[in-house]
Amino acid sequence: MPITPAAATHSSSNGTADAILLELVDENGVTIGTAEKLAAHQPPGQLHRAFSVFLFDEHGRLLLQQRALGKYHSPGVWSNTCCGHPYPGEAPFAAAARRTYEELGVSPTLLAEAGTVRYNHPDPESGLVEQEYNHLFVGLVQSPLRPDPEEVGDTVFVTPAELAERHAKDPFSAWFMTVLDAARPAVRELTGPSAGW
């Protein structure tokens, strides 16, 4: 994969990691500035740009990921295929494709925009707040996964019934149902009526 400014390692000349910056937006999704990632998630939260990806296999099953235990935000919980934040100036579509590859070691065979959703979800476990203007994407995955263990604890493909069963017994990210419900029209268009989404 070619190294681009958006995919390059963020480190300063003295070898320490630079702060990861997020794009702050207004209620219409217009960029109004930047903030350091952790600071943007401190209560009450700063509204920032994010993305969520939902990938499906050829049987219409959704790929879930369990977030790695080492992550500072929502470790060990199940969530959608991939989610994250574009770098300032990075297109959400490019960020979604980049992070899917970085986290899961796979590039979607299809990735399409599925709208946006704005939400405010406090995370009771970490005390952090997800105050996000989220760009949604749906797509297909047909290659074997190669998850990065620093990012992903586990993966599973689920039908709607299997998701409901897992959601009833396992912890999920605070934002999961909000982003899934917002993406459902595009999910149904992608997977067809027989998949049951």
Q: Which residues are catalytic?
A: 83, 132
Written as six digits, the tokens of 12 are 């300063």
- List CB contacts of 18: < 8 A, sequence separation 6 or more: 10, 11, 12
Cα–Cα distance, 99 to 103 (Å, whole number): 6
Compute CA distances 94 → 41, 149, 158, whole Å: 23, 22, 26
Dmax of the chain from CA atoms?
Answer: 55
The residue written with tokens 């959608």 in the block is 80
In three-state secondary structure terms, 49 is: strand
Cα–Cα distance, 154 to 148 (Å, whole number): 10
Angle at 145 between CA 144 and CA 149, to 5 degrees: 155
* Prior bond of 44 cis (ω within 30°): yes
How many C-beta atoms surround the C-beta of residue 18 within 10 A? 10
Cα–Cα distance, 152 to 170 (Å, whole number): 16
